[in-house]
Structure 1
């Protein structure tokens, strides 16, 4: 995975579509869903790790912009 869009597509494959309307909230929910897939052993470790890295990096960028 290399983009947030790819994370959205992965979640969509498991029946999860996230759109709250606030980007940071969307990313936080995606992280929670990714954690749940990991705990359920439905995704590979590399997908989980890369997904977390992408989500947290994007969240940090957005938080830095607000400052």
Structure 2
């Protein structure tokens, strides 16, 4: 699992579709849903870890993009 799309496909297998409206929020909700699936023992530790790493990376990228957008005044 290497992309956010891969994580979306994993969640889709369980009927979980996430669209909140902001990418950062979507990533956060996906992380919560993934935690619930892991707690229920329906995803393997390997899948969970891999997906969490992807979500963490994507979250960091989004925060960086928002920070740079705020510093430049949205340009």
User: TM-score scaled by structure 1?
Assistant: 0.95
Indicate whether 1:31 and 2:45 are aligned.
Answer: no
Runs of 5+ consecutive residues of structure 1 not aligned to the other structure: none
**d(CA) in 2 for partners of 1:60, 1:49:** 16
Quick one: distance in 2 between partners of 1:2 and 1:64? 19
Distance 1:21 1:42 in 2: 27
Any gaps of 5 or more consecutive residues in structure 2? 68-75
Which residue of structure 2 lines up, in the alignment, with residue 66 of structure 1? 66
RMSD of the TM alignment (CA)? Answer: 0.7
Q: 1:20 Cα shift?
A: 1.1
Residue by residue over 1:9-34, the C-alpha shift from the partner in whole angstroms, topping out at 9 and shown as x without a partner, is 11111010001110000000000000
Deviations 1:15-65 (A, max 9, x none): 100011100000000000000000000001111001111001101111111
**Count of equivalent residues:** 67
The structure with the larger Rg is 2
Q: TM-score, normalised by structure 2?
A: 0.85
Please give the residue correspondences for 1:40-55 in structure 2 after superposition, counting only pairs within 5 Å.
40-55=40-55
